[in-house]
């Protein structure tokens, strides 16, 4: 490697990433200084390559900083992976459409991302692949999860932290005498994301099936990123409207009043699709000028029609022991109506993608080490 990775890097960036023990606490790896502690007129002084002591390939680059005189030593491999000129184009946190496998129903025919509970618990590779599927496809299906009360919380704890809400640690999806949500009736539920009225929204949802003897009550999933990408290619104006117009979602019952205002389609600073909020049940009255309301409704209808295309929707039936785990910022879920007299009972819970991604990263880190076991 030549010194250009160093000399092409902006000085404040390079200095801010000095890995020395005076700049980063060796126990925690956390930075010990503020940006304001660095001289504003910082420049690179002498730069030299420091060969690996054992003659191997692990060379470093040493920089002397002017005017402060501090010396920094950067591993060449770190520079190769992180220098702004090389890493920017590849940048991404795994959450946008750029790093997903978008799908329509036929793409998954006969090959759902699924695993049995015993294999998932007993084999870290099975567990890692299941968690990877949540990142790439947006979901995985665990089979043969014990049909025990509150078991859904145990499933969430295998990869993350349960997000408790006003519905409790878990919510019972069954016919209630006095429901505060249409989910707790036998009504058909069209494709939606859950709880868009929360900020932050729960990013992972679990649904564990304990009983499903009802006539009806089949499940559906739609890849919201794929649908939004289709909308962008078929009706760019509608897509842009849905990324721009903030919409309020609201929920209230005797004890709770929640609201959050966001666009239906969230894009990152580069314009890439990063989140979907779509829930006809909890959309509040839009407050905007008449032309914006008109424009929003045309776009909302176009996206709503697209989300109902049969070819986008993966249909399946949850049977007792199945636990669906999915990305609630990307996938929309649905169910068909069912007879209220028939027995159908799911337990649901929320968790978050950051905890899931952390569990996966640690599994993969351990998997690279020696003698990794379950
Ligand atoms: C829900 C929901 C789907 C179902 O509880 O959020 O959408 O299959 N339930 O009952
Ligand atoms: Zn330093
Ligand atoms: Zn739901």
Q: What is the pLDDT of residues 172-219, one digit of tens each?
A: 999 998 998 888 999 999 999 999 999 999 999 999 999 999 999 999
Among candidates 327, 307, 195, 206, which has minimal Cα distance to 262? 195
Instruction: Examine the domain organization and report whether 191 and 266 are in the same domain.
Output: yes
Does position 368 have pLDDT exceeding 80, yes or no? no
Report the separation in Å between the CA atom of 67 and the middle of ligand 2, taken as the mean of its atom positions. Answer: 14
Domain with residue 12: its CATH number is: 3.30.2020.30
In a domain, 117, yes or no: yes
> Does any domain span residue 88?
no
Please tell me whether residues 226 and 117 are part of one structural domain: yes
pLDDT given at position 247: 98
Question: Are both 178 and 117 inside the same structural domain?
Answer: yes
Q: Is 155 left (phi over 0), alpha (psi -120 to 50) or beta?
A: alpha
Q: Whose CA is nearest to atom 9 of ligand 1?
A: 183
**144 lies in the same domain as 71:** no
Same domain, 139 and 205: yes
Q: Which domain holds residue 9?
A: 4-82
Q: Are residues 58 and 103 in the same domain?
A: no
Cα distances (angstroms) measured from residue 207 to each of 6, 103, 165, 210, 265 = 50, 21, 15, 10, 24
Last residue of a domain, one of 56, 82, 108: 82
Confidence category of residue 370, pLDDT binned at 50, 70, 90:
very low
Would you call 126 exposed, middle or buried from its count of C-beta atoms within 10 A (0-12, 13-18, 19+)? middle
- Does the residue 374 lie in any domain? no
Residue at 87 is within a domain:
no
How confident is the model over 345-359, as a mean pLDDT?
A: 98
CA-nearest residue, atom 8 of ligand 1 = 335
Rounded Cα distance between 32 and 372, Å, is 33
Distance 270 CA to ligand 3 centre (A): 30
Which ligand has an atom closest to residue 15 CA? 2
Closest listed residue to residue 159, CA positions, set 348, 356, 353, 327: 356
DSSP per residue, 153-188: HHHHHTTS--B-BTTBSSEEES--SS-SSGGGSS--
- Mean predicted confidence (pLDDT) in 33-62: 93
Is residue 372 assigned to a domain?
Answer: no
Do residues 186 and 73 both lie within one domain?
Answer: no
Q: Count of domains in the chain?
A: 2
118 and 253, same structural domain?
yes
Residue 72 within any structural domain of the chain = yes
Within a domain: 92:
no
Q: Supply φ then ψ for residue 127, to 5 degrees.
A: -65, -45
CATH of residue 193:
3.60.130.10
The reply to whether 193 and 52 lie within a common domain is: no
Same domain, yes or no: 116 and 256: yes
Examine the pLDDT at 48 and tell me if it is beyond 80: yes
> Ligand 3 centre from 207 Cα, in Å?
9
Q: Is residue 91 part of a domain?
A: no
| Shared-domain flag, residues 303 and 361 | yes
Whether residues 33 and 167 share a domain: the answer is no
Closest ligand 1 atom to the C-alpha of 346? 10
Average model confidence (pLDDT) for the chain? 94
Q: State residue 86's pLDDT score.
A: 62
Helix, strand or coil, per DSSP, at residue 273: strand
SS3 205: strand
Neighbours of ion ligand 3 (CB under 5 A): 194
Ligand 1 centroid – CA 321 distance (Å):
16
Query: 22 CA to middle of ligand 2, Å?
Result: 5
Facing residues of 31 across strands?
24
Query: Which two tokens mark 17?
Result: 């990433």
Tens-digit pLDDT profile for residues 128-155: 999 999 999 999 999 999 999 999 999 9
Q: Count Cβ neighbours within 10 Å for each residue of 100-110 and write b for 16 or more, e otherwise.
A: bebbbbeebee
Which ligand has an atom closest to residue 219 CA? 1
Last residue of a domain, one of 49, 82, 115: 82
Candidate of 176, 314, 334, 335 to mutate for ligand 1, largest count of ligand atoms within 8 Å of Cβ: 335
List ligand 1's pocket residues with C-beta within 6 A: 173, 183, 189, 194, 219, 333, 335, 346, 348
**Domain end call among 82, 112, 145:** 82
């Amino acid at each position: 490697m030549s010194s250009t990775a160093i000399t092409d890097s902006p000085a404040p960036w390079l200095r801010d990433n000095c890995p020395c023990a005076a700049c980063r606490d060796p126990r925690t790896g956390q930075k010990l200084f503020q940006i304001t502690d660095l001289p504003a007129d910082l420049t690179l002084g002498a730069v030299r390559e420091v060969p690996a002591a054992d003659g191997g390939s692990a060379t470093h680059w040493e920089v002397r900083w002017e005017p402060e005189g501090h010396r920094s030593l950067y591993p060449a491999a770190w520079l190769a992976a992180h220098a702004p000129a090389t890493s920017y184009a590849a940048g991404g946190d795994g959450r946008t459409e750029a790093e997903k496998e978008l799908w329509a129903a036929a793409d998954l025919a006969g090959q759902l991302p699924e695993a049995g509970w015993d294999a998932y618990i007993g084999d870290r590779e099975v567990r890692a692949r299941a968690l990877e599927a949540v990142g790439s496809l947006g979901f995985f299906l665990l089979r043969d999860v014990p049909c025990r009360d509150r078991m859904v919380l145990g499933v969430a704890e295998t990869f993350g932290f349960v997000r408790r809400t006003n519905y409790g640690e878990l919510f019972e999806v069954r016919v209630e005498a006095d429901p505060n949500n249409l989910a707790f009736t036998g009504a058909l539920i069209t494709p939606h994301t859950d709880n868009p009225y929360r900020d932050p929204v729960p990013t992972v949802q679990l649904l564990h099936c304990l009983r499903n003897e009802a006539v009806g009550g089949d499940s559906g999933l739609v890849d919201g990123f794929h649908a939004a990408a289709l909308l962008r290619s078929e009706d760019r104006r509608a897509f842009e409207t849905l990324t721009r117009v903030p919409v309020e979602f609201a929920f209230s019952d005797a004890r709770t009043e929640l609201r959050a205002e966001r666009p239906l389609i969230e894009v990152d600073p580069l314009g890439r699709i990063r989140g979907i909020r779509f829930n006809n049940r909890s959309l509040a009255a839009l407050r905007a000028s008449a032309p914006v309301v008109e424009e929003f409704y045309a776009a909302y209808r176009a996206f709503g029609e697209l989300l109902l295309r049969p070819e986008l929707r993966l249909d399946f039936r949850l049977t007792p022991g199945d636990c669906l785990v999915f990305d609630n910022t990307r996938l929309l879920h649905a169910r068909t109506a069912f007879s209220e007299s028939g027995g159908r009972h799911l337990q649901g819970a929320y968790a978050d993608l950051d905890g899931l991604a952390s569990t996966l990263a640690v599994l993969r880190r351990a998997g690279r080490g020696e003698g990794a076991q379950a």
